[in-house]
Every structure is written in structure tokens, then in C-alpha cells.
Structure 1
Amino acid sequence: MVGVAQCLDVARGGAASICWYELWKEAVMGVLSTRLTEKFAVPYPFVCAGMGFAGGTSELAVAVTGAGGIGAVGAALMPAGRLREIIHEIRAGVGEAPFHINLITYFDNTEHLQVCVEERVPAVSFHWGHPPARQIEQLRTAGVSVWEQVGSAEAAERAVEDGVEVVVAQGWEAGGHNYGGLPTMVGVPAVVDAVGGRALVLAAGGITDGRQVAAALCLGADGVWVGTRLVASTEAHVHPEHHCRLVACRGEDTVRTAVFGPEWPDFNPMRVQRDRVVSEWHDRLNEVPTDRAALEQVGTTVFQGEPTVLRKFNVLPPVPGTEGDWEEMPWLMGQGVGLVRDVKPAGDIVREMVGEAERTLARFRDGGTSGTLKG
């Protein structure tokens, strides 16, 4: 089989479409062929979650797309000019292979949308609220595929009615900002039943190994949306302490809380590790102060290129260069973290997860009944 790395080498030489197509053509004959792999001509139904900060550079997107999935950039609050630079960096790394730009609907995305339209990015995904119909139309008119992350079948219905083509069904288990009302095992088939005939559906929440990829596909999803496992990659833009906590943490050690960012009550809750500040305040959220100026300093970081003071209950996750009291920080992670046992390159993670998914599905296809993979 043609290797992805070989394809990318050829891509830089100008024959990207032929080589990438050959890789895709071989892959779609396998177990993991779905409507997602067919629509976007990718080998695997594996999508990197849109993650601000952790996915706020080109490295993670290039690694995931380069391994045969669909990479992502979490634009969050980055300057629009920086987003354009990152898009160029991704294309320098993977040619015309697909990726998506993730925007937070809660914020003003006018400039980011204009960049995405001008650059003709393959896809834009929205999170935390339904985007205005005019934005969906603006993107689709430019040939950009529009995705939306939802927490219910009802929200999925509204998204598809307004022209969203890919719905990300977020389960309760998901890390970071989370408004999933049901666990992934229940929410995904509900969304599939509601809109699966009109849109593609991705499963999100708690998907950290290949067995869960296989399960998501059996639930009717066209692919998986993976966050926490990719935060534990060498390309993720996170502080080394975050990596240490991901490997050490259990799923039971996370909680969905509104402790962080109380000045933005509509931009909560989010699933994080239960560190000291969460343990002390989660059960008395009505007492959390919202006047940032009056809060004590707990650290410093660099935000949008500027030194920034971090005050208690700050919503900014630690990145390289952040300093302070780690027990006062938001460590974003989903309940699947208990299955994260190491930090490794994102490409290896993609290949391992899809490989395990293929073996799991093939075992049942071939009549196997054992609950444990062998060999």
C-alpha cells in the first residue's frame, strides 16, 4: 500500500492529487470505508477535534491529515492574520488534503470567516451555538463544507435545516466546553436517526482508542471526532504538565463544571480535571466571583503574543511558557482520559486507533466472539 508520507513527498512535487487518490482508493476498499472517507477522499474516518490552544498551530493539523485523517485548527480568539498564516503552513505540509477550521460561535468570527472564504479552506466547523444562516450561506457559496457540533438531536435538526453538512454529535463524556446532554452511546444514534439521512454524523466524546472508533461506526456514525487522545500528542500546543496529567488521570477524575470563566456564564460548562480549585468551588458555583480585577493572580502566560496575568478562575489552559499554580488551572480533558497511557506523535495515534478499529470490526465480521483482541 502506498504510504501517506510518500504521498505527501510527491504532493510537494506537484502530483498530490494522483498520489493521494491512490492512497484513498486502496483505503476505501477496507473495513473503515464510510460516507466521510468518500466525500473527503481520505483514508480514514478520523477527525481531529477543533481545540483552541491545544490545536492552535499547524503542527497537529498537519500530523493528523498526514496520517490519513482530517486535521483541525482551533481558531478561538487568534488574530485573523495568524489564522491565514496557519492555513498556508498546513497546505505547505499536506498539499490539498483536507482539514477544517474550528470557530466558536459565541465569539465574533467575522474576520475569521472572511479568511476561510478567501483561502477556500475545505471545511469550517462551528462549536458552542448555532451559526447564523448568513454565515452558513457565505461559506457554502464559497465551496466550503459547513460542520456544526451539537449536543442533542433537536440541535442537529436545526443545523441540517439551515444547511450544515456534517453534524458532530457531542456526548457528555467529551472534554473541554461541553453541552452534551446524553452519553455518546445514546446521543450518537439519536442524532443519526434524526439527521443521518440528510447529513454526515461524527461521534464525539470519550473516543480514545480503536475499540471506541469501531463502536462509533456501529452506532451509525460516519466518523469519529477525537480530542483528548490527541492532546496527548507531541504536536499538541499544551504545557508539559498537561501531558503529565493526561497520562496520570482517571476518567473519574474529570468533572463538567462552570468554575472557570465565570464572567462568561454562557460559555460554560467544560469538562476538566478535578484539581484543587475545582474541588473547592464546583459545589458552590453561585459564590464564584465574576469581577476579574478583584481576583488574586495565580500565574502568567502569553496570549495573542502578549504577556498576560492569569487570575483565579481563568479560562485559559496552560500552554508552553505558562507559569503559576497548577492546581488553579483548567486542565481540559474528557472521560476517556483513563485510557490514555502515553504521549506520542499524532500520526502514530491515528494509525494505532484505526488499526485497532479495523481489527475489532474484522473480528466480528469473521465470526469471532472474544471480548479481548489477540495477536
Structure 2
Amino acid sequence: MNHSFAGKTIIATAQIRIHFDEPRNADATLIEYLATVSHRAIGGHVMDAFDETAFFLELGPDQILNAVEAAGFPCTGHLLALNSYENRVYQVGVEERGMLVAKFYRPGRWSDEQILEEHLFTQQMAELEIPAVPPMADDEGRTLLKHGPFRFALYPRVGGRAPDLESPDHLRRLGAFLGRLHQLGAAEKFAHRPALTPQSFGVDSAQFLLASEHIPDSLRSVYQGLTEDLLGRIERQWKLAEGFKPIRLHGDFHVGNILWDEYEGPRVVDFDDARSGPAIQDIWLCLSGDRQTQADQFCDLLEGYSRFHDLDPREMHLIEALRTLRMLHHMAWIGKRWADPAFPRCFPWFDDPLQWETHILGLREQAALMEEQPLPWPL
């Protein structure tokens, strides 16, 4: 089935374009860019191919709505771009069901086997009534759908607000969620998805950045020396935690992926970064503030967590190492996606020497933090 939604996509594009009531930020810029690309794709004037993801950038409203209809969901023509940098995610109006969320996967990042393994993980959660949001299956039971060159998945739309990380009650309930998630995550291993390690997030990220042209020449030797020192410190922290058991994780458990309902608690979305690693990776992202505040927050989280799963105290040594790895990986991720025009528009500061100086300062602070004692284990 293939339809033209030309009349409807004008409305959809207008919906996207009016999404600017608040001051501009990277997310707003991304939404504007997606609207622009979608509009150009209708007329066939998308930029020339520059790499393997060129056809991904040509994804426009007609392709999106045709793909959803081919999956068995007649569309109303309503289409709204949602905030997503790595993939393309849209809220799509469908007849009789209201709204669905369609997630189109960036090619070249995950294999079909890796995506299906992520889907299976969330389906296992749903079977145990762990409040994650798994993809919907079509009439043949498939969750990874294909339309032309595009791979996509459909999700029910769920609502909620961000949790209050200053609330002990919210933290205990988040801890209970993570305890249940990690109990399941420890029950078996990923066969296809990667692991979070100093090599994958640290060494590989630093090597990519140093081989690229993004680091200013005046800072390149400084960055090389600093990252070599940091990677040595990270390895030492890993040795202090030696013996911990890597488990299946959410992988990116920040507040933007947690939809809070005051009665039902957290509902967690976006397992796109699911991978194996230390359990503390899903916990430390919920900690903020000064050392004492983080210690108090951790105590509340652990109270809920320990009802369902045991956290290895040795993993406390990894918190600042993991924070450092996240900083390195984030900069490398932007650099690897720089050929996608959405990224220079959303992260215009990336090639600014001042920003690299700030990044280096942050990494130096991490070097000092890794020399401090880890957060205390609650008595």
C-alpha cells in the first residue's frame, strides 16, 4: 500500500513548525531542522548523499505515514517530530487509536539482531509488569518493521513528567524500579549488544577525537596527554571494582527517559542504549549536587533498590570513572555524527575552541574526583 499524504503533510509540517513557545535550545533546533528536512524531502530536494545515512536524511512525512500505514495503522495525517538526535522519532496520528510513536532507526548503528535483543529485553519487562514501554508487534508478531530502506518500530504514546530527584519518595520508587530491572538484567546476558567498558567508551572515543579535525590544533597535545592520564585513572578505578558482575542495563537512565506518574510511579522509555555493564551506571545518573546531597540521594535509591536486587559495593569506585567515560563518549558521538546536518545545527558550539577548553577543564576536574574516596556505602 502506498499513498500520497501531500494534503495532510502540510498540516503536519505546520504542527512541527509552531513548536517554539520557549527559548531556542538544541532540542528546538532539532525539531525545526527535522521539519525543514521533511519539507524538502516532499519536493525531492534533499542534499546529495554524503555517507551511508544519506537516505535516512531523506525521511519525510510521506515515507513516515506510508510506513505506519503499511504496518496496519491507517493514519490521520497528524505528525509531530519528537526530540531525538540518534534516530528519528515522530508522534503519528492513527485512526481509532489516537496517537502512536514511530521510531526510525539510524542505519549503521545497530544490527537487526541488536535491535531485536533490545526489544526482547523490554518485552521481558512487560511480562513481569516492570513499567517500561516495549514496542508494539504487528499481526505476524514482528516488532522490527521495514518499509523500503527504513527500519522502524511503533510504540504506544505514554505521558508523564520528570521525576523529582530531590524527593526521597521518588528516589526510593526509582530505586525499586531499577532493582527490578537489574534483577531481570542479571538473569541472562546479551548475545549481540555491546558492553560499556573503558575501551569502548574511553579509548575508542579518545582515539576518534584525536584522529579527527574537531580538536583545535593548539589543544591537541594537551587533550592527548590528559586523556592518556584519565584512561589510566579509569583503569585503576576498574581494578578497585574488580569482580563485579556486568548485567543488562538501560544504559542511559537520565530524567529525560523517565516519565513519572504520581500514582503509578516511573515509566521508562528509550532503551536504545541498552548494553551490558556495571549496575551503578543506571544509578549514578540519578545523583546530582554536592557530595553530601549525592550521598543522601544514593541512600534513598538504595533503600528501594535493595528490595529487589543486591548492588555490589565495589561498584561505588566506578561512579566518577563512568562520569568521565560519558563525557568522552558524548563528544565522540557528536563528532561521529557531524556529517548529519542536524548535528551542526543542534551543537554549534562543538567546533568552538572555547568549548574545548571548557571540556578540558571538566576532564581535569574528573581527574581530581577520581582521586577522592567514593561515596560512602549507607550503614
TM-score, structure 1 normalization: 0.27
Which structure would you say has the larger RCO, counting Cα contacts within 8 Å and 6 or more residues apart? 2
Larger Rg belongs to:
2
Larger helix share, 1 or 2: 2
Instruction: Calculate the TM-score normalised by the size of structure 2.
Output: 0.27
